[in-house]
């Protein structure tokens, strides 16, 4: 069963440019210069019920804009999208009660109230029965190890504790589709691990659909079965992490530690130098040449330790973002005297 279907989804914004000074302000009122910004352009993908998908891209790629359109917050400029068979921007109650959106940089809990008071408000909003609320709230609080923290004012909680409370609030009504926008942003490694474990357990028990954006590749590698990558508003990849790795035609990485200083320039003839200083280096080489190159490095340099690894997925994605986007960045400047 298809949970999310997106076809040629597009979202344009218009920004007004204004020259400095009084003359610039007057010109901006009389003849404003407007620039069309394509935040999302012709993105298409399908997500089945029960999948956990990583939605990746650099800052400004259009990830959050896409999630806002799928959750009904934004109206697309063009294209088609359905979530659980509903058109998101129609915001029908039947759909909204089956969705949840968690944003790592936004709060849905009342700042000056204990989190449990916000939970009570959400209970009434989603018409959750007393029995279901008590059971579900208790289970979620236990899974996230919140204890009495839910009875403390939200503004007095740490960032990690607030994020855990946000997750409890999002999952109280048992949503079938959950959009997670940077849920571990700014958290320490312990809190990140706790949230990953929580999401993994909940996904396994409830078979819900999760779409996760994150700049932490460990989140994606531990949780997601497949990934969708967008850059400058356009989709550049859809598939599993294994399929993404195969795009590199079988490369391997050699991690070297030296017992004496080595010039990074001397390593270039052995492979592609990904990182290097006088004490260590990381080289990318073809798989079929690993043995010969490793032997050559051990002979030519004071190597104290060498490790052979698969090319890091994070390195592959970083390279994708560094390449020019297909078609380049699109912007359309127009002169207009009216409203956009």
* Residue 330's pLDDT band (cuts 50, 70, 90): very low
Give pLDDT, residue 331: 35
- Return the CATH number of 249-310, one of 3.40.50.10490, 3.30.70.1150, 1.10.3720.10, 3.40.640.10: 3.30.70.1150
The Cα–Cα gap between 327 and 308 comes to: 37
Starting at the earlier edge strand, list the strands of the sheet with 78-83: 78-83, 2-17, 33-48, 331-335
Residue ranges of domains in the chain: 2-10+40-245, 249-310
User: What is the mean predicted confidence (pLDDT) over 34-38?
Assistant: 85
Q: Is the pLDDT of residue 333 over 70?
A: no
Q: Give the least confident one: 21-25, 211-215, 295-299.
A: 21-25
Whole-prediction pTM? 0.76
User: What is the mean predicted confidence (pLDDT) over 256-272?
Assistant: 90
Number of H helices, E strands in the chain: 11, 14
Strand partners, 81: 6
Give pLDDT, residue 59: 84
Q: Is the pLDDT of residue 337 over 70?
A: no
- Residue with the bigger pLDDT between 139 and 58: it is 139
Give the distance between the most distant pair of CA atoms in the chain. Answer: 73
Mean residue pLDDT of the chain comes to 86
Give pLDDT, residue 284: 85
Torsion of CA 185, 163, 197, 147, to 10 degrees: 150
CATH class label, 2-10+40-245: alpha beta
The domains spanning 2-10+40-245 and 249-310 adopt the same CATH topology: no
pLDDT per residue as tens digits for the range 109-162: 999 999 999 999 999 999 999 999 999 999 999 999 898 899 999 999 998 899
**Sequence-ordered list of residues with C-beta below 8 angstroms from that of 220, at least 6 positions apart, any chain:** 54, 56, 212, 214, 227, 241
- Residue with the bigger pLDDT between 105 and 254: it is 254
pLDDT per residue as tens digits for the range 185-209: 888 888 899 999 999 999 999 999 9
* Tokens coding 301: 């340099």
Q: Is the pLDDT of residue 49 over 70?
A: yes
């Amino acid at each position: 069963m298809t949970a999310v279907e997106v076809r040629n989804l597009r979202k344009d914004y218009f920004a007004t440019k204004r020259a400095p000074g009084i003359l610039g302000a007057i010109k901006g009122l009389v003849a404003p210069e407007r620039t069309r910004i394509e935040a999302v352009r012709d993105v298409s993908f399908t997500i089945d019920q029960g999948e956990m998908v990583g939605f990746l891209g650099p800052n400004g790629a259009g990830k959050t804009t896409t999630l806002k359109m799928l959750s009904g917050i934004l109206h697309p400029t063009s294209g088609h999208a359905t979530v659980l068979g509903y058109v998101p921007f129609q915001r029908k109650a039947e759909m909204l009660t089956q969705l949840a959106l968690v944003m790592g940089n936004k709060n849905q809990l009342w700042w000056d109230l204990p989190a449990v008071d916000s939970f009570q408000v959400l209970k009434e909003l989603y018409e959750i029965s007393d029995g279901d609320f008590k059971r579900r709230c208790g289970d979620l609080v236990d899974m996230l190890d919140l204890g009495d923290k839910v009875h403390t004012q939200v503004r007095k909680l740490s960032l990690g504790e607030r994020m855990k409370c946000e997750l409890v609030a999002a999952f109280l009504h048992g949503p079938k589709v959950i959009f997670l926008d940077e849920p571990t942003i700014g958290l320490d490694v312990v809190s990140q691990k706790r949230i990953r474990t929580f999401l993994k357990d909940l996904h396994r028990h409830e078979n819900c659909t999760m779409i996760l954006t994150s700049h932490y590749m460990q989140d994606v590698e531990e949780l997601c079965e497949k990934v969708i990558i967008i850059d400058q508003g356009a989709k550049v990849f859809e598939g599993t992490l294994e399929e993404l790795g195969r795009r590199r035609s079988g490369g391997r990485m050699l991690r070297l530690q030296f017992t004496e200083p080595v010039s990074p320039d001397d390593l270039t003839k052995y492979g592609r130098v990904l990182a290097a200083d006088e004490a260590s280096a990381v080289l990318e080489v073809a798989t079929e040449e690993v043995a010969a190159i490793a032997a050559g490095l051990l002979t030519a340099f004071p190597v104290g330790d060498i490790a052979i690894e698969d090319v890091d997925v994070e390195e592959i994605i970083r390279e994708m973002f560094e390449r020019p986007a297909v078609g380049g960045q699109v912007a359309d400047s127009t002169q207009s005297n009216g409203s956009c």
